[in-house]
Amino acid sequence: MSRSYLFALGLTGLILTTPGMANRKVVARPAVQQTVAARTDSTAPVITHGPYLQLPSATSMTIVWHTDRKCVSRVEFGLDNRFDRQEISSRHGLVDNDRANHIIRLTGLEPGTTYQYRVVSRAFLGYERQHIVAWGDSIISDPFEFTTLDPGKDRFSFSMVSDLHERAEELATMIESEAWQDIDFAIYNGDMIDDFMRSDQIFTGFLDASVHGYATGKPFIFARGNHEVRGRFARSIPDFIPLQDGRAYYSFDHGPVHFIVLDSGEDKEDGHRYYNSLVDFTRYREEQARWLTEDLQSETALRARFRIVISHIPPRGADRYWAQSVREHFEPPIREAGVDLWLSGHTHNLMRIDPTEGENNYHLLIGPTHAVTRVDVSPDELRVTVTDIDGVRLEAFTIRR
């Protein structure tokens, strides 16, 4: 990168670092003179968490990171380490300058293509007076890379965990395990944290371990569990886990699979005293059921060889309100359209329910705690294995088409 390019980008006082990775080498470059009419802060912002990849698709990827102060941020990216494209975050015509969490969606990408990226944050110190703002220094991350999803890909693998409940060290062990190797993405199927009562729970509970292990280069798909939607910070989840077009439920496609992520909500009736009249999940499930009916009739869903549903709360497996409500709302369109596999968690216990005449016409797998569920996808089959944290195989079955 030339010095003139640095000036053009306002990258003065540049520091290269890899946040959240204590063992990685940190390279500092001497600051260069500010050329903009603004004050230089004595310290550069620090990237405290991330970057990590979210909401993958064949043509887009979302990059998220967090800084220790408000910044104006961008992602520089491109092919063959050129970093000749950039994307910023703005809303309604205004570039974000009031956020310490940075969520930037890269669009217009090619399917199945590997891009290099790095994130840049410049401290925004405030407005000195009318028309004049005060800038601090900038920080730029190490380069990382990701590969977009590809509906044309023949075979791939993904892993799923649920009900981690903030056992970050356990997640780190799982990420190193054989069940996690050579995956295209991971699925976090809810209750990765306990009730969301402290703002740092997502970081310490699973996010920092994910960034350290893989999430700078492979995305994780997040289906919200009943514990994430509970507590004083529940409404701030989108600051950490971005929404897809404003929704926590959505679908995406990769290889021969159409994936549907559902947000199954709380596990008790809306009127339960625990919720203090502050939840509205029945209507939310009704809203999702309408969307689900439409989504299953979409061109990508109809064309896909396999359909996989992901929801934290399972539709079956217990005679309890939560299963009943999920089943009543989501099963009718699924029974009508047909899906191959429904992946859930919540009960903490492994359960496999095969298609049963007059009941469910899909395979249901409820993943247990302390285990990784891995699915190997090929053109003709889904091979499902569940392996516990000690490497013991708990379940294996194959769905063929």
167-206: contacts with Fe ion (CB under 5 A):
191
Stretch that binds Fe ion, among 132-140, 222-230, 235-243, 351-359 (CB under 5 A): 222-230
Whose CA is closest to 202, among 211, 98, 159?
211
Q: Considering beta carbons, is residue 121 or 226 the nearer one to Fe ion?
A: 226
Q: Does 225 bind Fe ion (CB under 5 A)?
A: yes
Q: Considering beta carbons, is residue 258 or 346 the nearer one to Fe ion?
A: 346
| CB of residue 264 to Fe ion, shortest distance in Å | 9
* Contact pattern for Fe ion over residues 76 through 115, marking x by CB under 5 A: ----------------------------------------
Q: Does 346 bind Fe ion (CB under 5 A)?
A: yes
315-344: contacts with Fe ion (CB under 5 A):
none
Contact 13, 33 (CB under 8 A): no
| CB of residue 329 to Fe ion, shortest distance in Å | 17
- Which position's Cβ is nearest Fe ion? 346
Residues in contact with Fe ion, counted by CB under 5 A, come to a total of 4
Alpha-carbon distance 394 to 374, whole Å? 12
Q: Considering beta carbons, is residue 219 or 225 the nearer one to Fe ion?
A: 225
| CB of residue 343 to Fe ion, shortest distance in Å | 14
| CB of residue 319 to Fe ion, shortest distance in Å | 17
Which tokens go with 242?
Answer: 């971005």
Q: Considering beta carbons, is residue 349 or 356 the nearer one to Fe ion?
A: 349
Q: Does 137 bind Fe ion (CB under 5 A)?
A: no
Q: Considering beta carbons, is residue 268 or 352 the nearer one to Fe ion?
A: 268
Question: Applying CB under 5 A, which of residues 101, 189, 226, 264 lies at the interface with Fe ion?
Answer: 226
Contact 347, 354 (CB under 8 A): no
Q: Does 230 bind Fe ion (CB under 5 A)?
A: no
Stretch that binds Fe ion, among 102-110, 234-242, 346-354, 388-396 (CB under 5 A): 346-354
Q: Considering beta carbons, is residue 205 or 225 the nearer one to Fe ion?
A: 225
Q: Considering beta carbons, is residue 312 or 374 the nearer one to Fe ion?
A: 312
Q: Considering beta carbons, is residue 193 or 260 the nearer one to Fe ion?
A: 193
Adjacent-strand bridge partners of 17: 141
| CB of residue 200 to Fe ion, shortest distance in Å | 21
| CB of residue 22 to Fe ion, shortest distance in Å | 32
| CB of residue 191 to Fe ion, shortest distance in Å | 4
Q: Which residue has the tokens 């700078």?
A: 216
Q: Which residues of 274-297 are buried (b: 16+ CB within 10 A; e: fewer)?
A: eeeeebebbebbeebbebbeebbe
| CB of residue 267 to Fe ion, shortest distance in Å | 6
Q: Considering beta carbons, is residue 225 or 317 the nearer one to Fe ion?
A: 225
Alpha-carbon distance 306 to 297, whole Å? 14
| CB of residue 18 to Fe ion, shortest distance in Å | 34
Phi, psi for residue 329 in degrees, rounded to 5: -85, -40
Phi, psi for residue 331 in degrees, rounded to 5: -70, -35
| Contact residues: Fe ion, CB under 5 A | 191, 225-226, 346
